[in-house]
């Protein structure tokens, strides 16, 4: 009986560790601008194309403003993107057009 309980506890502990490890991995995931480009070109061209990012009267003046805008536009379009998808699109737009320092 005690041995069974011990094994059960060890099993639960391993499961908890596995969950923790996979979460940590997701949070550390590096951004993927190529994926962001695909997402952007598939979902964001209905109102504007990428010319809007090089217009002289741009409303984006910082990396955090860019992130907020992508969040806002994807929210308005009801895309339900994950944080990782938003980061990928921000990385694509920043690498290609805005070139803000990210830190």
> Is residue 47 packed enough to be buried (19+ CB in 10 Å), middle (13-18) or exposed (0-12)?
exposed
Applying CB under 6 A, among 32, 43, 84, 100 the residue interacting with ligand HEC is: 43
Identify whether the C-beta of residue 94 lies closer than 8 Å to the C-beta of residue 66.
yes
- Shortest distance (Å) from residue 81 CB to ligand HEC: 7
Work out whether 60 is an interface residue with ligand HEC (CB under 6 A).
yes
For ligand HEC, the binding residues (CB under 6 A) are: 40, 43-44, 46-48, 52-53, 58-60, 66, 69-70, 73-74, 76-77, 79, 89, 93
């Amino acid at each position: 009986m005690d041995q069974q309980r011990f094994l059960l506890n060890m099993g639960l502990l391993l499961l908890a560790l596995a969950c923790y490890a996979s979460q940590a991995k997701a949070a550390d995931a590096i951004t993927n601008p190529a994926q962001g480009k695909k997402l952007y070109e598939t979902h964001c061209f209905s109102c504007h194309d990428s010319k809007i990012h090089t217009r002289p009267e741009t409303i984006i003046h910082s990396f955090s403003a860019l992130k907020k805008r992508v969040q806002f536009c994807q929210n308005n379009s009801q895309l339900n993107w994950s944080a990782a998808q938003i980061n990928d699109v921000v990385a694509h737009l920043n690498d290609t057009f805005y070139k803000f320092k990210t830190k």
